[in-house]
Amino acid sequence: MSTRVKALARFYRLPIIAIAAAACSEPRAGDRAEDAAVVRRDSAGVTIVENHSSAWEAGTGWSIEPEPRVAWDGAEHAFERLVGVVVRGDGGIVTLDAGSGRLEHRRRDGSVAWSVGGRGEGPGEFRRPASLTSLVADTVMVWDAGVGEMIVFDPTGSEVERARPPRPGREPLQTPIPLEGRARFIVPARSGVGDRPLDEAGRFRFPAPLLGWAPASGALDTLATIRSNEVMAMDLRGHTMVGPPPFPAATLVGVSHERIVVADAEALAVRQSPIGSGETDPRMWLQFELLEPTGRLATIVRAPLSGLEVTPAHRDTYVQYLAEAARTPQEEQMIPALASTLIFPDRHPAYHALLVDATDHIWLRVGLDFSPMKSSPIWHVFSPDGRNLGNVTLPERFTPHVIDGEEITGVWHDALDVESVRTYTLRR
């Protein structure tokens, strides 16, 4: 077999097709017959929060008003590919469109207050804008993945700072996450294939550093080691092809209540339940960790899930989508060989996205998720100390970016997949 490694065909950059709701039951969390949570501290001083059911009783949890407060519909408010949405203190909304490269502040009615940027390599342009982050006092940070640089803008849209975290190796860095305003950031490395010769077919994850970075001094230190997003190597017509696999696992990182949230979607294991009973609990458990700013492990949070098995229907529908996505005769001819060499996991990831709201609650998107074509609308909410509160179901085709008080703002896709910004009311 040839060991020539090249990027996987265009199929693996395409969104995954939606699966019919009847294909499998949604994963469910908790068991009301057990206590809501059991907390214990292990010998190393790590707090373990093992949840057995949600704290919210039926009808008492948080919910979403069906009608949006803000809905920028119409061609004049359409975007190409939104990768960031931030809500300002005055209620205005700042957006970053990776398609056009424009960074814009719009008023609540959708009218543009200012607009800067653009795609390109000239002054004031972004090469590959990847994300938008809110900092202090209505300043925002654009992460330009094309050059590995953060660019900070003040409330008027003027650029005030540029900085590049040093790369510890060949692998690119992910978006820096503010830990102490603009003084210190958490920077996950996107460790993947790199220089590793993947001569055997399989699904792989590699160690990746979680870095602490102080832009003023340039200091960079390793806080912890996490696992990279999953990649797949497969033999396709004598060549080793490398790219994202079906239903990939990933490690998600955020900051809650001055703790670093590290959520590895593959961190599932059979646990004993209840603690100390000696009885085996056959359920699978999601897990995430809370680290101190120094990187020391402080808390492990667990909650049960079920319904994660990858079924033959899921595999067949995935291959069917690849066939439907083929646009040229050459791509159509690749489908049979591609389908015969795909490597599917036994289980879906436990969760697919992480958000931390303005009150430091941790939101994990759970359920059968085939994003970006069809994302699960179910979000599992945990208190800042890891207590399982319950689920919140968001509107279909809506991806939240900001959860602030009584509002959730994000990107909504219409039936033609046209993007716009919407804000919904969150009833707490």
pLDDT band at 200 (very low <50, low <70, confident <90, very high): confident
Tokens of 352: 């697919």
The per-residue pLDDT for 412 is 93
pLDDT band at 318 (very low <50, low <70, confident <90, very high): confident
Tokens of 399: 């991806």
Tell which wins on pLDDT, 4 or 245.
Answer: 245
Q: What is the pLDDT of residues 356-367, one digit of tens each?
A: 999 999 999 998
How far is residue 324 from each of residues 17, 282, 320, measured CA to CA in Å? 9, 38, 6
Q: Among 124-138, 143-157, 225-239, 340-354, which is the least confidently predicted range? A: 225-239
Q: Given the DSSP bridges, would you call strands 185-188 and 207-214 parallel, antiparallel or unpaired?
A: antiparallel
Contact status, residue 59 vs residue 350, Cβ threshold 8 Å: no
Average pLDDT, the chain: 83
Contact status, residue 114 vs residue 124, Cβ threshold 8 Å: no
Tokens of 74: 């119409």
Does residue 185 surpass a pLDDT of 80? yes
- The residue with tokens 């996950």 is 188
Give the residue among 290, 258, 286 at the shortest CA–CA distance from 379.
286
Tokens of 105: 């502040």
The per-residue pLDDT for 197 is 65
Does residue 180 surpass a pLDDT of 60? yes
Does residue 174 surpass a pLDDT of 70? yes
How far is residue 376 from each of residues 1, 68, 182, 390, 399, measured CA to CA in Å? 39, 19, 33, 15, 9
The per-residue pLDDT for 292 is 95
Give the residue among 240, 220, 224 at the shortest CA–CA distance from 232.
240
The per-residue pLDDT for 12 is 38
Give the residue among 122, 120, 162 at the shortest CA–CA distance from 141.
162
- The string of DSSP codes covering 133-163 is EE-STT-EEEEETTTTEEEEE-TTS-EEEEE
Helix or strand run (H / E) with residue 49 = strand 47-51
Tokens of 190: 């996107």
Give the residue among 284, 286, 347 at the shortest CA–CA distance from 315.
347
Does residue 24 surpass a pLDDT of 50? no
Helix or strand run (H / E) with residue 331 = helix 329-341
CA 80 – CA 86 distance, rounded (Å): 17
The per-residue pLDDT for 276 is 52
Tokens of 217: 């001094």
Contact status, residue 118 vs residue 167, Cβ threshold 8 Å: no
Q: In the chain, what percentage of residues exceed pLDDT 70?
A: 84
Does residue 19 surpass a pLDDT of 60? no
Give the residue among 116, 88, 83, 120 at the shortest CA–CA distance from 102.
116
Does residue 331 surpass a pLDDT of 90? no
The per-residue pLDDT for 158 is 97
Q: Given the DSSP bridges, would you call strands 269-272 and 280-291 parallel, antiparallel or unpaired?
A: antiparallel
Tell which wins on pLDDT, 389 or 170.
Answer: 389
Give the best-scoring range by mean pLDDT among 6-10, 88-92, 188-192, 325-329.
Answer: 88-92
pLDDT band at 8 (very low <50, low <70, confident <90, very high): very low
Q: Given the DSSP bridges, would you call strands 112-117 and 129-134 parallel, antiparallel or unpaired?
A: unpaired
The per-residue pLDDT for 243 is 82
Q: Among 281-290, 293-302, 402-411, which is the least confidently predicted range? A: 281-290
Q: Which 8-state DSSP code applies to residue 215?
A: T
In angstroms, how far is CA 349 from the centroid of its own chain?
A: 12
Can you tell me the mean pLDDT for 136-159? 95
The per-residue pLDDT for 56 is 92
CA 50 – CA 382 distance, rounded (Å): 12
pLDDT band at 270 (very low <50, low <70, confident <90, very high): low
Can you tell me the mean pLDDT for 35-47? 77
Can you tell me the mean pLDDT for 276-301? 82
Tell which wins on pLDDT, 342 or 284.
Answer: 342
Does residue 303 surpass a pLDDT of 80? yes
Residue 324, SS3 per DSSP: helix
